[in-house]
Amino acid sequence: MLISLPKVRGIYRYNVPMSKMTWLNVGGQADVLFKPRDIEDLVCFIKNTELPINVIGATSNIIVRDSGIRGITVKLGKEFAYIKCKGNNSIIAGGAALLSNLAYFAEKQQISGLEFLVGIPGTVGGGIEMNAGAYGSDIASVVQSIKAVNLEDGNLYEFSSKEMGYVYRGHNLKGQWIFVEAEFKGVSSEHEIILSRLKEVIDKKNKSQPVKGKTAGCMFKNPKDYQAWKLIDESGCRGLNNGGAKISKKHCNFLLNYNNATASDLENLGNKVRDAVKDKFNVELEWEIRVLGGGFYSRIS
């Protein structure tokens, strides 16, 4: 693919096999993977390209289709993985920082309220995009302010949590964004109390989820007044398979690559589950996993 790319201080990689990067180990090649050096580098890049842009994080909740990703795939690297104290129980974290690392950092600073993040795979940027949550808490409840670069005009903006318009597993911010930094706030507590809560979250996750399998977290969002896993289970889909893809028997809202599945195996199995739930309960399940490639555009994952 012959394309003209802006001069950057970051790194371009070409024809990158996404199957080696994603947690599900599937997907074709990304034409170009771009890792910016810093926010200014990212802004300069966006302002000087008209190519389609997709954004990935830790790739813990995406399926990349077998056809791969056209155009540019932006991934924030280690330069955006910083976590630091701001004072008054506040923490600043870059968009590439892992949510689990943020939870452990908060513990060391004796800041409570972020323990639930230890059980969520993925990055700060991805968590902000989807309002990631677990065990009764979510990003919206702990994030104070957010810095984001707009994919249309390339400018840097700052939003409060209220301005994001957070909803269940999403937000109402208009446009396409790359979330590059956020400020989180907790409350003072003691190490022993926070450590106990971290252990509780980890234990719950290990007991209820297929943590040792190749998975991408919850497959579908919970519809209003329903639990997705229960709808899936009562539709007879627990343990259902398609090619090398399988619905987990331990937690049936988890999709597994258990035997060299293709992206098509996984996506088609998920759609079979959606159809089964629709037929039995007349409820439409909405994907929580993001699907990239084949002309499909996704903001962040």
Q: Which of 37, 85, 163, 169 is catalytic?
A: 169
Could you confirm whether 218 is annotated as catalytic? yes
Could you confirm whether 288 is annotated as catalytic? yes
Residue 97 to residue 58: CA distance in whole angstroms: 9
Distance linking the first and last C-alpha atoms of the chain: 25
Q: Is 301 helix (H, G, I), strand (E, B) or coil?
A: coil
Q: Which amino acid is at 36?
A: P
Give the dihedral sign, CA 56/57/61/67.
Answer: positive
Q: Which of 44, 218, 237, 252 is catalytic?
A: 218
Q: Is 79 helix (H, G, I), strand (E, B) or coil?
A: helix
Q: Which of 70, 237, 288, 290 is catalytic?
A: 288
Could you confirm whether 183 is annotated as catalytic? no
DSSP per position, 194-256: HHHHHHHHHHHHHHHS-TTSSEEEESBPPPTTS-HHHHHHHTT-TT-EETTEEE-SS-TTEEE
Supply the DSSP symbol for 97: S
Angle at 25 between CA 22 and CA 26, to 5 degrees: 95
Residue 102 to residue 94: CA distance in whole angstroms: 10
**Looking at the annotation, which residues are catalytic?**
169, 218, 288
